[in-house]
Amino acid sequence: MYDLEHQYREHEDQAKCNTDFHSVAKADTHIHASAMMTAVQLDQFMRRIYERDRDRPLDDKGKTVGSAMRGAGFQTKGEHNAESLNVQASYRMFGNFKNFNAAFTPLGSRELKSLFMGYEALEGEYLAAMVRECAGVAHEGAGAFLEPRFSIYGRKPSEWKTFARWVRRWQVDEMPGVLIAIQLPRVYPVWRRMGAVTSFGGMLRNFWGPLFEAALSDEDDDVKWLLDKIRVIDTVDDESIEDHPDLAGLCGADDWTSEKNPPYGYYAYYMHENVARLNALLRARKLRSSPLTFKPHAGEAGPADHLATAFLFSDGVSHGINLETQQEAVALQYLYYAAQVPIGVSPISNSVLFLKYAQNPFPTLFKRGLCVALTTDDPLMFHTTPTPLLEEYATARHAFALSSVDMCEIARNSCVAAFSDEERMDLHNDENPDCTNVPACRLNFRQATLQGELDLLAARGGAL
């Protein structure tokens, strides 16, 4: 009905604006730092590094960058190409998270991954260069901000100091368009079996302890400096692995000493609790101007209780497609709409791993008014152009028959997910069509519809 009444007016109003989709701000709120480059970009980057640094020492035993790359199987002649890196998506990944995770390791070489995607080898110089290059292309060519996820594993407390020094050394926080996010992979059993931790509580202390200690310290060290640079905390792992949704009666984190992984909701509760406490401490000590947000992966696979848990504990989610694909999540979808919880959907990634593109509920969720935006997840596997976020939008536009107004509204949603209200006003006047290219009639319709639902809920709540 809205389209019938306002379709032509929208396009007339949009034509009067001084911007278009390519110039409005947009944010990729779900992208993993180790997979920011496409396979072609990574191949070209590695070739440049080989030509420039092949004789650069890696250790005091005679190993060089060139010998390490050749030893890993990197071919320096014409017979090598991007596909040889074995990082691009294939049919073998569908429903198989193990094969997907293997693609994060170029040529299957841990040494090569450490050299190009780690913080320690050569002080993480190559990873910093990759982030800078990707962010520069996205920000200058597409008006895009990137929210790359960097992993802190909770294996040992010193991980934070290593990461903070890397960010500071290469001024990652000052790279145009970079919004730093941290993810905790849900791999507690790995560290428990290795003996790195003796309980789940130990892993939590390794992850959170250095942050609380830095916030309480009067000394200005690297981790304390970092506290004001991080924007997002995330958790990530294979959601399709069956876990126990009933959290009642479970032991505390320090008493969880088995090698079994805690349920999704158990992780989410402790992450939320620590984010809330750290925010309170940072606010009391005036160490941050805006709070950390908790935006976990949720709802790509697994049971509906993952989305229920995320609704209770998070500030937004990555994926969320099960809100429509699972019958049990229908009521949750309404709650996500009413609360306008930001959802970053990655249809191209989803199509490779769990849900074919034509079946993706993104257009349905968008038309219903949920705060959905498009994200890339892992360009290394899933994308082919130098601007993966624009590739994601272009693919969705054609596949889902999105209008130019739709595209700009989705971009606006992405900024709602990435920035606070104050930041968006600085970035652009959020209600000014000349800045967002979303006509006032569209914004007014969305707001009036949402307010009608909220009024209905308030009235029914009073009746109860």
**Rounded Cα gap, residues 167 and 123, in angstroms:** 10
Q: How far apart are CA 59 and CA 395, in angstroms?
A: 45
List CB contacts of 318: < 8 A, sequence separation 6 or more: 29, 30, 234, 295, 296, 297, 298, 300, 343, 344, 346, 375, 377
SS3 231: strand
β-partners of residue 28 are: 146
Options 30, 297, 319, 428, the catalytic residue: 319
Beta-carbon contacts of residue 441 (< 8 Å; ≥ 6 apart): 6, 9, 10, 13
Question: What gap in Å lies between CA 376 and CA 273, rounded to an integer?
Answer: 29
Count Cα atoms within 13 angstroms, Cβ side, for 258. 7
DSSP character string of 363-428: HHHHHHT--EEE--B-HHHH--SS-HHHHHHHHHHHHHT--HHHHHHHHHHHHHHHS-HHHHHHHS
Task: Name the residue among 358, 370, 365, 361 with its Cα closest to residue 413.
Answer: 370
What span, in angstroms and rounded, lies between the C-alpha atoms of 268 and 234? Answer: 9
Rounded to an integer, what distance in angstroms lies between the CA atom of residue 318 and that of residue 298?
6
Smallest CA-to-CA distance from 384 within 152, 83, 178, 107 is with 83
Note if 297 is an active site residue.
no
Catalytic residues, which ones?
Answer: 319
